[in-house]
Amino acid sequence: MIKEIEQIAEVAGYLWQKGWAERNGGNITVNITGSLSAAYKSSPAVKGPISIGQKLPRLKGCFFYCKGTGKRMRDLSRSPMENGSIIRICDDCEHYEIISDVPVMPTSELPSHLAVHNYLIEHGSPFKASLHTHPIELVALTHSREWLEKDAATNMLWSMIPETKAFCPKGLGMVPYMLPGSVELAKATIDTIDEGYDVVMWEKHGVFAVDTNIIDAFDQVDVLNKAAQIYIAGRNMGFVPEGMTAAQMAEMSKAFNLPK
């Protein structure tokens, strides 16, 4: 098993343990083109070609590991190749083929995940992994209009504990509620990434994070959700957490060479 798939299995276990992946909730898609041997890349298709539903020209010659449709993260953590598949993008960039031994159909949200990967390649990003999951406390925040305002949640989360800004210096982008799996949600997610965010919050739904690998994508969500837990813990104790002051945040940003 290649390293990336081992990491995917590891993260799938974390998502289940944290309660962020109920039933078949959440998705993982990772560009593993650089890790596959030439012999494997030339493997005959087990299933396909299957339409993506859009033309994604930057994905020509790419290979992805994708969580399977209807599959559970807790099962994927134990058996990644029985609960996910490796796909090859066809030369027309409009279809894909499954080349892994077990022809598990990828998530129904594959087109939106692939659209994000197409954007990342087009813009020269080193990011290879995309993660969608349902972190409880972050989702809870989006049920309040207060935290849906641009960067309101970001600034609050940064202020809860210094590590939040250190490890998530681009903050949390907000996307208003849209139908899960829709083209509109995919476009809004790409637009928010284009604004400079690596982690995108879907109102009343979950997060979508991109990074160089799936471990780092998970870590960003984990750090942001810990900050939300600290805020909610304070509210449960009967007070509104004061957070770090603007001066303290500026001092830390300067000391660690972080974006302002």
Residues identified as active-site = 109
Distance of alpha carbon 189 from alpha carbon 112, whole angstroms: 9
Q: Is residue 181 within 8 Å of 110, Cβ to Cβ?
A: no
Q: Terminus-to-terminus CA distance in the chain, angstroms? A: 41
Tokens of 180: 């899960």
Residues paired with 207 in a beta bridge: 133, 201
Side chain identity, residue 134: H
Distance of alpha carbon 206 from alpha carbon 173, whole angstroms: 12
The residue among 122, 5, 1 whose CA lies nearest residue 59 is 122
Query: Is the backbone of residue 5 left (phi > 0), alpha (psi -120 to 50) or beta?
Result: alpha
